[in-house]
Structures are given as structure tokens and as C-alpha cells.
Amino acid sequence: MPDNENPKSQIKSRQRVADHGEVFTNPREVNAMLDLVRDESYRLDSRFLEPACGDGNFLIEILCRKLSLLKDIKSQTEREFKSLIAVGCCYGIDILPDNAEACRERLFAKVMDQMGKKNYSDGYEESLRYMLKMNIVCGDALTYRTVESKPITFCEWTPIAGSMQFSRRDFQFDFLVTQSHQYSLFDEQGEAQNFDEPVRTYPPLHYTQLYRYEEQL
């Protein structure tokens, strides 16, 4: 179901429009554009990057489509694991800190709503929040840098079949979008041809322990 229960204005203030060109896209237009890539938007492990994500109008609709694939799964652990696959494939950048934080919170609330009121596995919510913290970045997509002037870095979360684990590799955003890198975000072709150059790799962790990657930074 589209996340359009609460239609809102396309702007927060005229000043924000003047300073940052901030105009939000309505759910109707978002879904019309996503329908142009319908098959990908309904594939659990397809990756999407919104380089000016605002508070998440595109990403929330993408996540809704992905989470709809889990509705018939009975196993709670499988639903939790696959919900993190969906979240791990949604990336966003916004130059305004309040937008980036609002985006994280919207995506977190949507997952919780779709998963239903249950006794979640220990560590699930912490791992979900950590994944959103790493995937939704406050920075400038044009300069490839965070608001702290550090290179924007994204995590590639790869589910390991049969293990309920994820492996993680980190990539600098500027490398992923430069002209010399002719493939999409974490493209399998690029990896096969040795185009991908992770700045760091990590050992696999169980999906309920992903927040422990923070200890390795």
C-alpha cells in the first residue's frame, strides 16, 4: 500500500526553497515514476539510491513495495531477515540534517508497522536503526561529501543464503558515480570485472547483530 495516508505540502517554507531548492514530490508522482521500473521496485534485493531524498517520499514508497513481498511469510525470523534485505537496498542522501533524520524515522516506523506488533528478536530493532543510520546520509551528493566534509561512504549489505547473516563492504560514493565507473551501485558486472574497490570489508554478522559493526569502526 502506498504511503500516502497523510498528504502534505510540497514545501516546508519559502526560505528552504530559496536556500536549498527544497520541493517534495507527491506520492502520486512518486508511484507513477516507480511504475516505470515496476519489476525492480518489487524486487527485494534491487538497490535504489535517492541523492536528494528529503524526508523520504521516494524511499518510503520503494520500501513499501519491497515489504509487500513478505506478507505471506509465517516465520518471524525469516520476515525480520528479509525486511533487513529490503532496508539494506534503500539509500539516500540529503543536505539538511532534519530531513535525513526524518527519513530514517519514517523508514523505521514503516518497517515496524508492516512487521506488526510482535516480540522481535533481540537486536533486531537495533540492527534496523543501525542500517538506516548508515544508508541515509546527511551530505551533498554533488560534492560527494558529508556535512562534516568527509567522503560519503555507503555500505553494501549482502545477505548470505542459509545463514541469516549479512556481509558488509564499504564504498566511497564518489567512486561509485564517477565516469570511469560505468556500472550502477554495487553492480555485479562491475565486481566481476574488478571495478569495485571497497574501502573496507567486514566479517559476516547475524542479522540481529549488525549494530555491532559500530564497535569495529
Residue 19 has pLDDT above 50, yes or no: no
Helix ranges, the chain (H): 14-20, 27-34, 38-41, 57-67, 76-88, 97-115, 124-135, 173-177, 188-192
Return the residue matching grid coordinates 536503526. Answer: 129
pLDDT digits (tens, 9 = 90+) for 62-101: 999 999 999 999 999 999 999 999 999 999 999 999 999 9
pLDDT digits (tens, 9 = 90+) for 184-201: 555 554 443 445 679 999
**What one-letter code names the amino acid at 175?**
F
pLDDT digits (tens, 9 = 90+) for 156-173: 999 998 899 999 999 999
pTM of the model: 0.83
Sign of CA dihedral 128, 202, 179, 193: negative
Q: How many CB atoms within 10 Å of residue 163?
A: 12
